Structure 1
Amino acid sequence: MNTDASIARAAPRRFEALDSLRGVCAVLVVMFHMPVASHWRDWGLVQHGYLFVDYFFVLSGFVIAHAYAGRLKTAKDGGRFMVRRLGRVWPLHVLMLGCFIGLELARLWFHIDMATPFTRDRSVEAIWANLFLVQSWHILPYLTWNGPAWTLSAEVACYLIFAGLVLVAPKRFRWIGAVLAVIGAVLVLMYARRWMNTTYDYAVPRAVYGFFLGCLLQGFWLALPRLKGRASTALEVAAVVVTCVFIGWATGPITVAITLFFVVVVWVFAGEDGALSKLLDHPALVTMGRWSFAIYMVHMFVLTVMMIVARKLDWVPGGRRIDFGSVWINDLFVFAMFGLILVLAVLAHRFVEQPAQRLIDRWTAVKREG
């Protein structure tokens, strides 16, 4: 295990390769949700793309433990930690929730499609659960509003548990967290109807499973042996290939094992010792990683509007996927839609996400000095 001092010394480091991988996973989640009959739409890696979300949970646990395990000493520290974490996700979440509410008002006022406004997954009651980021705490019967935001709700639960464990049992929180991770995996395996494709119901156990295994990994990370040079490159390639093959193949209860694959991926790439890590350190991929949260948050709104337009223009002959009659044209349309998502994500990152982070950082810095 790392001592608090060693963690504090290491905390400023940013894991660029892991951040770039987060960007790649965000793109694959977008591809999973993209309702277009492209060449790759039926590939197992895309069909099971929901599993890439579990990389976010493992990475989050690893990075949060790395940055905060030695810094939370008092209840005031815990409160500041929660404010900083919420400050990084809540503003953009609220913006996108507002966009979906605006779309619902357009349905109400202008009858833009046949959907009944403010019903079922778009109910007024669900707005409050989304505002307080508790919509995935098994209190609603389905995904609501901006569906992908369920991960934020689940992560907030992990942050609360993490802060509580570190404050109460700073030397044993990783082991207690590991027990919670096992319990989370068992709950998903035994009770989630679609196993790891669980969101509004067993999202918190799913997230706890990944998050606290990430915390446990971080505790051992500096002590674990690492390969160098070509051996490290071979290990990186093997980790990526095996994980992608598993995702492309896995269905049913075995999908619960994906978190273990991502634990290995985080361990392998955290050291940034191989050629793949060097590739992931390219500024373009690192930048994509920094945009990943915005990409993840804006994409469902773009796809929802796209489907409303597509149905009006008869681009959805089968009722579920956009199809222009040529798979090559479909591919070009996917790239165009992703380009739009990327542009909006960059704007959201620059004008919402970053200013909010700077504001919260300044506010908590003032509190620390007071």
Structure 2
Amino acid sequence: MTLNNTQPATKPHYPILDGLRGVAALTVVAFHVFETHSTSHLNQIINHGYLAVDFFFLLSGFVIGYAYDDRWNKLTVGGFFKRRLARLQPMVVLGMIIGAACFYFQAGPVWPGLASVPAWQVLLVMLVGCTLIPLPISADIRGWQEMHPLNGPGWSLFFEYLANIMYALFVRKFSKKALTLLVAIAGAALVHYAVTSKTGDVIGGWSVNAEQLRIGFTRLMFPFFGGLLLSRTASVTHINNAFLWCSLLLLAVLAFPRVGGAENLWANGLYDSLSIIILFPLIIYMGASGNIAGVFSSRVCKFLGDISYPIYITHYPFIYTYTAWVSRHKGITLQEAWPYGLLTFVASVVLAYACLKLYDEPVRRWLNKKFIVKTIV
């Protein structure tokens, strides 16, 4: 998944990067709430919130490189996969279960609920989703052509796993020159797609067809391996108030209005690609170069980092429910619906924190003790 904060205990931590991950995750929730009321991405509030996924990929590549690049003399490929599964998979499973549980309440004009989809089919989709094996469009029970129709963001976790597999099997062995070449080619492909796409953006990647898989790999390759290259080449310095400045810059990028309008779609594609290629690496570099001063700031970054992954992987079932509620109240405006939108946002945060403390942390501790500590020196 795009969201991860696993670091070897013997290495210094990057608390600001944890905090930025949380800022991006909360922005994604707000983006999806507002998206329910938009008629197109031309007038969407928090217009570029979808780029948070690309930020997560880049941050993930940076953290993976920092955490594991110098450990392969002791770490096996199997041991690496065990660590990544222990970090990511528990919340994948819970996210799919929550998605299945909420599916009952999501019947409406936009998609069916249990009234028209057999319970056995929902359970089957949930079980497949727990493995992150992508479902074909023909198996979509919602109608949005998602590879994980009970919990849409699962698509990015699928690509996150692919990136981890590529890293462990061969990319970790790349020299800086070879990795730079890979990143340059991936960056060129990203710019080309974004500027020439029929939608003028990089949105997509969640369906199992040629077009969407191309988008998914295009969105994955530069950010993840660009982050890996950044971890190998950047020499961090000291930047004061880095968390504040990085958060403001990140929010500015994600909330920036649509560029170019319907007449010049290429302009927004250029904005997307340059944000991913230039601004996001700059933000991560600044975040890695900053220090946390004070107990309050440290607690804020820790809280945001802790809930970032749980909120990302559990919030979308609530978005489905909110979208269904809005569709059943045809004509309702954002000004009228905002209390329910705010409730959706707050409930997503509360659920994420509960999942973290009551499930994710205990399960990961058990998995680490049983399957990792005993097998990895």
Q: If each structure's helix is expressed as a fraction of its own residues, which one has the higher value? A: 1
Q: Return 5+ residue gaps in structure 2 as ranges.
A: 1-6, 207-211
Partner of 1:198: 204
Listed one character per residue, the Cα deviations across residues 300-345 of structure 1 (whole Å, up to 9, x for unaligned) are: 111223344555xx5x223xxx54xx82x53333322222111111
Deviation at 1:160, TM superposition (A): 0.7
Alignment of 1:2-151 (within 5 A): 12-35=11-34, 46-73=46-73, 77-104=76-103, 113=113, 116-117=116-117, 130-135=129-134, 142-143=145-146, 144-145=148-149, 146-151=151-156
Instruction: Give the superposition deviation at 1:106.
Output: 7.7
Percent identical pairs in the alignment equals 22
Match of 1:300 in 2: 316
Q: How many residues align?
A: 341
- 2:367 counterpart of 1:367: no
- List aligned pairs for 1:213-228, cutoff 5 A: 213-222=226-235, 226=237, 228=239
Q: Which residue of 2 aligns with 1:257?
A: 274
**Residue of 304, 309, 325 corresponding to 1:288:** 304
How many angstroms apart in 2 are the aligned matches of 1:116 and 1:193?
Answer: 34
TM score, norm. by length of structure 2:
0.74
The verdict on how the C-alpha distance between 1:239 and 1:99 changes in structure 2, with shifts beyond 3 A counting, is: closer
Q: Distance in 1 between matches of 2:282 and 2:136?
A: 28
- Equivalents in 1 of 2:196, 2:90: separation in Å? 33
The residue type paired with residue 196 of structure 1 is V
The answer to whether the 8 Å contact 2:19/2:301 transfers is: yes
Residue 265 of structure 1, CA deviation: 0.7
Structure 1 residues 191 and 137, CA, compared in 2 at 3 Å: closer, same or farther? farther
- CA deviation map 1:165-208 (0-9, x unaligned): 25544666633542563365267448865441022222133112
SS at match of 2:222: helix
Q: Contact 2:49/2:254 (CA < 8 Å) preserved in 1?
A: no
Counterpart contact for 2:8–2:67, Cα < 8 Å: no
- Which residue among 259, 266, 269 is the counterpart of 2:284? 266
Alpha-carbon distance between aligned partners in 2 of 1:208 and 1:133, rounded to the nearest angstrom: 19
Tell me the distance in 1 between the aligned counterparts of 2:234 and 2:320.
41
Q: How far did residue 69 of structure 1 move?
A: 0.6
Shift of 1:97: 1.4
Q: 1:57 and 1:103, CA in 2 relative to 1: closer, same or farther beyond 3 A? A: same
Q: Could you tell me whether the CA contact under 8 Å between 1:105 and 1:117 is conserved in 2?
A: no
User: Residue 238 of structure 2 contacts residue 289 of structure 2 at CA under 8 Å; is this kept in 1?
Assistant: no
Preserved contact between residue 54 and residue 210 of structure 1 (Cα < 8 Å): yes
Q: CA deviation at 1:82?
A: 1.4
CA contact (8 A) 2:54 2:223 kept: yes
1:68 Cα deviation from its structure 2 partner: 0.4
In 1: Cα distance, 2:8 partner to 2:113 partner: 56
Task: Give the letter aligned to residue 59 of structure 1.
Answer: L
Unaligned ranges ≥5, structure 1: 1-7
CA positional deviation for 1:352: 2.2
Backbone CA RMSD of aligned residues: 4.1
